[in-house]
A = this chain, B = another copy of it.
């Protein structure tokens, strides 16, 4: 029996050799092509032309380093958001984990629906029910306790379709775009409808974006000094909702400069895309259109959760560049072959 579960060290070594060699190959390639996972075409060309003209000294469209602000939506723009935005899987998993301490949930919606796998029943209460589930799982603990819960969940939970951890389901082309912008003096920010405390836990590792460059939704926190160490307690009270018209407001409050570059994928990003594109001087708006039902998901106008409709209608008006995921992206995830 023992030999069967012995760890195959030789395979591990082979794996490390292969991945380190493919990593150095990728680095060599990157010098010639900053966006190797983007297929040649108008979208890739527009991005490279824009970055070139805004960073070349003497260019009529030169943007000083201090003004090179790039804002990215997260769900559906930097990582997948289907079949549900990933933070909702966290909510569901937390409710299941907390249920033993709450026997009353067996007979109370929306918890009953979650515990019985009946999402329709759980969400019958609409925004109020959703809000209650978010507060139950995102408030009433210290920020350190919350951070640890997110870390543990991210290390263990897996996506129902790919079986991968959620933070592995980031888009390889967008990672390259983030890196390319930063290599050219742009500061990259996340501006998400998702929870700021949730995203900050893993964004630095996943995207190279530090906590102070994450803008998101939040509950109020209280600085509490009654224990042996000061802590922040997350309160069941909304502080800021960073979606739709909240996004430009979040950018103003948190960043204080109008972005030069923005990327989004839904009408929830329309406000920040519009705010970006109506500024003077060169501006770039990138809309990710989910068109790849095989490698990822295909949805836009019809989808109830993450509709892209007004954004497609007004793309030409604002000179937004629309990514056709199926044709523009050579690979979707870092783990794709």
B contact residues around A257 at 8 Å (CB): 210-212
Contact between B256 and A221, CB atoms less than 8 A apart: no
Contact between A212 and B248, CB atoms less than 8 A apart: no
Q: Is A10 an interface residue (CB 8 A)?
A: no
B contact residues around A210 at 8 Å (CB): 66, 257
B contact residues around A239 at 8 Å (CB): 253
B contact residues around A175 at 8 Å (CB): none
User: Which of these binds chain B: A54-62, A224-232, A286-294?
Assistant: A224-232
Q: Which of B204, B214, B230, B252 contacts A275 (CB 8 A)?
A: B230
Give the nearest-CB partner of A250 in chain B: B223
Give the nearest-CB partner of A275 in chain B: B230
B contact residues around A137 at 8 Å (CB): none
Interface residues in A, total, Cβ within 8 A = 36
Contact between A223 and B275, CB atoms less than 8 A apart: yes
Expressed in whole angstroms, the Cα–Cα distance for A187 and B212 within the complex equals 10
A73 to chain B, nearest CB (A): 16
A57 to chain B, nearest CB (A): 20
Q: Is A266 an interface residue (CB 8 A)?
A: no
Q: Which of B204, B214, B230, B255 contacts A248 (CB 8 A)?
A: B230
Q: Is A249 an interface residue (CB 8 A)?
A: yes
- Residues of chain A touching chain B, judged by Cβ–Cβ distance below 8 Å, are 66, 69, 143, 187, 189, 196-197, 200, 204, 210-214, 218, 221-223, 225, 229-230, 232, 239, 245, 248-249, 252-257, 271, 274-275, 278
Nearest 8 interchain pairs by C-beta: A211-B256, A223-B248, A212-B255, A200-B256, A223-B245, A211-B257, A223-B249, A232-B252
